[in-house]
Amino acid sequence: MGAQPALLPLGWGVAGWGQSHFCGGAGANRRAKGAGGAQLVPERVKSIFGVLLVGYGGTPALLGGWGRRFPSEDEEEEEEEEGIPFMAEEGSGHWRLLCKPSALAQHLVRSLGRSAALRGGRWLWPCWPRLQMLWQLLQPPEPEPVVARELLQLSDAGLVALDWLVGPWGAAGGGGGVSSPVLLLIPNAAGKVTGGLLQLGLRALERGFIPVIFNRRGHNGCPLTTPRLQPFGDPGDLREAVTYLRCRHPCASLLAVSEGSGSGLLLAYLGESGSSSRLAAAACLSPIFRGRDWFEARMPWLYEWPLLLHLKQGLSRYAGALAEVVDTDRLLGSRSLRELEETLFCRTRSRPTSWESYWEHNEPLRDADEAAVPVLCLCSADDPVRGPPARSLPRELFRSSPYFFLLLTPHGGHCGFPRRGPGRCWAHEAVLEYFRAMAEFLRTEERRKGLPRPRRWGGPPVEPPVFTWQRSYTR
């Protein structure tokens, strides 16, 4: 008889990663503004969201009617009755961790229990998920980050962009010590780098990580050199980027965080790559687990229309080149994200395919059983973009797989998870604490099993083995 799924309670405490900054290294000769550097925030926050918030005066009462994806009271009661709530706090609710019992799960519970990462602080409007979403989208990170861009040519001559966050201090990107972990940040499927994602990158930078943003073909100013974009769940380009990062930082741990719909790409990569993913751990903020259902459901216009306009603006730059493969008039005239996705990838001139066939190859969880890397998914029950938990959360996956962990809170919106005070988002602290816990667990296992470690001085360094998680860790 197999182990029963556990709904594990956590406690309070304090823990941290450290406050070391990275500097120098391979990218030290590239200054942030002088060689491809760019300041992201001003372009990110100038969007329709600002107009909407000003137009409505930011009144919380008006936010309640925006969109249709809001769980009913019956659904909320049903979700709250399943499992035992823990860590109740005024204004922020409680959290639940759903996972399969294992040694790794026990270590994660102890680490989060000792940490202050989940101490969300009181949020003035906990029952307004759309306001929480706006808060994260509109608020620029503090201080303003600077990036150094690197273009990576792929096997088919396409390009993706890697933006190394260097902070406001003017240090060069891509540096760091030998053991500094590299944190790969994956934006949403529209390629929009939100203020929340940048804030997470800055927090990671302060903790000694090397954060880098992955930009898909044609997204966020990355040149489109081939008439092909990346489908929703096609991890081919991400795989080449991870391989490059491993070659550039052979002794560093590779970690990945995705935001919103960008989690479809990360989850697909983990499932398709299995134990060869080269990642030590991954996390997803407000992930979209079921891509087809998400596109077919009517999502809040407050979320859909700005992303749709953002995508059209980027695609219009390459309308001439894309005209060879798709109907650009139909593409730029799309009135929904589904219509744009279907026109771009299903109604092609050379290889048309059906909507059903497209999702057979692009569903994020199509190979989830093959995933062999710990994945923490932070979700909110009132997420207006993902939809009601009863329909949008694959709970059976978290009950059966030893690698998937669900941290669920009743209030947090979509990629919001707000709190007062420094950082503004408790999910960012939870993700960084999770990575710290995974690194601690691996160090313990390496010492116990006597795996080779890189030498610090004298003689040639020991070549680190290709990292793979051991099944015994999750038993």
DSSP assignment string, 328-372: HHHHHT-SSHHHHHHHHHTS-SSS---HHHHHHTT-TTTTGGG--
Residue 452: closest CA among 469, 466, 441: 466
SS3 251: coil
DSSP character for 3? P
Tokens representing residue 125 in the block: 């409007």
CB 160 within 8 A of CB 241: yes
Mean pLDDT of the chain: 76
Residue 451 binned pLDDT confidence (cut-offs 50, 70, 90) = low
What angle separates helix 236-248 from helix 263-273, to the nearest 10 degrees? 80
pLDDT in tens, 85-101: 445 444 444 778 899 98
Q: Report the predicted TM-score, pTM, of the whole model to 2 decimal places.
A: 0.77
| Terminal CA-CA length for the chain | 14
Residue 254: closest CA among 264, 242, 262, 266: 242
Planar angle of CA 258, 290, 256, nearest 5 degrees: 15
Reported residue count of the chain is: 475
Higher pLDDT, 20 or 69: 69
What does the alpha-carbon distance between residue 268 and residue 419 come to, in Å, rounded to a whole number?
A: 31
> CB burial class (10 A; 0-12, 13-18, 19+) of residue 49?
middle
Alpha helices (H) along 423-470: 426-449
Architecture of the CATH domain 18-299+367-451: 3-Layer(aba) Sandwich (3.40)
Whether a cis peptide bond, with omega within 30° of 0, leads into 141 is no
Q: What average pLDDT does range 127-144 have in this prediction? A: 59
423: phi > 0 → left, psi -120 to 50 → alpha, else beta; which?
Answer: left
DSSP character for 274? G
pLDDT of amino acid 117? 67
pLDDT of amino acid 132? 57
What does the alpha-carbon distance between residue 130 and residue 142 come to, in Å, rounded to a whole number?
A: 22
Residue-range domain boundaries for the chain: 18-299+367-451
Neighbours of 236 (CB within 10 A): 16
For residue 124, is pLDDT > 60?
Answer: no
**From 27-41, 115-129, 407-421, the region with the lowest mean pLDDT:** 27-41
CB 418 within 8 A of CB 132: yes
Amino acid, single-letter form, for residue 293: D
pLDDT of amino acid 453? 55
Residue 286: closest CA among 414, 118, 434, 132: 414
pLDDT in tens, 244-281: 999 999 999 999 999 999 999 999 999 999 999 999 99
Tokens representing residue 72 in the block: 């009913």
Q: What average pLDDT does range 210-227 have in this prediction? A: 95
Residue 413: closest CA among 146, 119, 92: 92
3-state helix, strand, coil in the chain (%, to 5): 40, 15, 50
R_g over Cα of the chain = 21
Tokens representing residue 11 in the block: 């406690």
pLDDT in tens, 343-390: 999 999 989 999 999 999 999 999 999 999 999 999 999 898 998 898
Neighbours of 159 (CB within 10 A): 18
**From 61-75, 169-183, 248-262, the region with the lowest mean pLDDT:** 61-75
Cβ neighbors of 413 (< 8 A, separation 6 or more) are: 128, 129, 130, 131, 132, 133, 136, 380, 382, 383, 384
CB 83 within 8 A of CB 98: yes
* Tokens 């993700």, located at residue: 431
What does the alpha-carbon distance between residue 74 and residue 421 come to, in Å, rounded to a whole number?
A: 33
CB 440 within 8 A of CB 407: no
What does the alpha-carbon distance between residue 470 and residue 316 come to, in Å, rounded to a whole number?
A: 47
Question: Where in the sequence numbering do the catalytic residues fall?
Answer: 383, 414
Amino acid, single-letter form, for residue 197: L
What does the alpha-carbon distance between residue 80 and residue 126 come to, in Å, rounded to a whole number?
A: 16
